[in-house]
Amino acid sequence: MWIQGELGPCSTDRPMTTGFAQYFESISDFPPASLLIATWDGVGSYNNNTYSTNTFQCVLATDGVISVVVFLYADIQWAMADSQSRGSGSGGSGLSDVNDFAAVGFRNGIEFDENPGSYTEDILHINLTSNIAVSVMWTFRVDGINIEIGDVDECADSNGGCTQSCSNSVGSFLCSCLPGYLLDTDGLTCNARAQY
């Protein structure tokens, strides 16, 4: 694990130091004064295997009042320990159990927030997903009692690709159709209902 810290004015040419306000309605301006960057490079599964490794990073940005955490998942190759080291949920039987899979998330002392795919093989693809529409990045505001999940309004850009109505939700969006139309299997296109 590598740790890097920056105190004092952060360089604005770093991607981690600008743009947070666009992901949180509660932040209008946020020039972080400090960064703490922790990198886990080539981490093996539970019993320190090195034939498949994960590389990920956590960035804490703060101005002393507002604090934002960014998780970056660069290379995820394993989702569970191999059969010899399994057992947290399967009692050492070597059989898969939900508790054998890796989980991604964090606890602020009150609540735990898990990213989608936790405790499943889908965690292998977390580097292809995001809650802010930037692959590999998951962003959260963590300075209050409640964790605030970062979000991008996908509907604000070309109506999210929806041909009729677009509804934004945290980390996603949903297309819907006006009366007389049906949503196509692509989840975006509304087609007129056949008249009989």
Q: pLDDT, tens digit, for every residue of 98-140?
A: 556 777 776 666 666 677 778 888 888 888 888 887 888 888 8
State the Cα–Cα distance between residues 134 and 132, nearest whole angstrom: 6
pLDDT of residue 87: 42
Would you tell me how many other CB atoms lie within 10 Å of the CB of residue 88?
Answer: 14
141: enclosing H helix or E strand: strand 137-141
Residue 194 tokens, joined: 């056949």
Quick check: 142 and 68 in contact, CB under 8 A? yes
Q: Is 134 helix (H, G, I), strand (E, B) or coil?
A: coil
Res. 150 pLDDT band, cuts 50 70 90:
confident
pLDDT of residue 156: 86
Cross-strand partners of 69: 60, 140
Q: Is 9 helix (H, G, I), strand (E, B) or coil?
A: coil
Cross-strand partners of 38: 3, 58
State the Cα–Cα distance between residues 22 and 77, nearest whole angstrom: 31
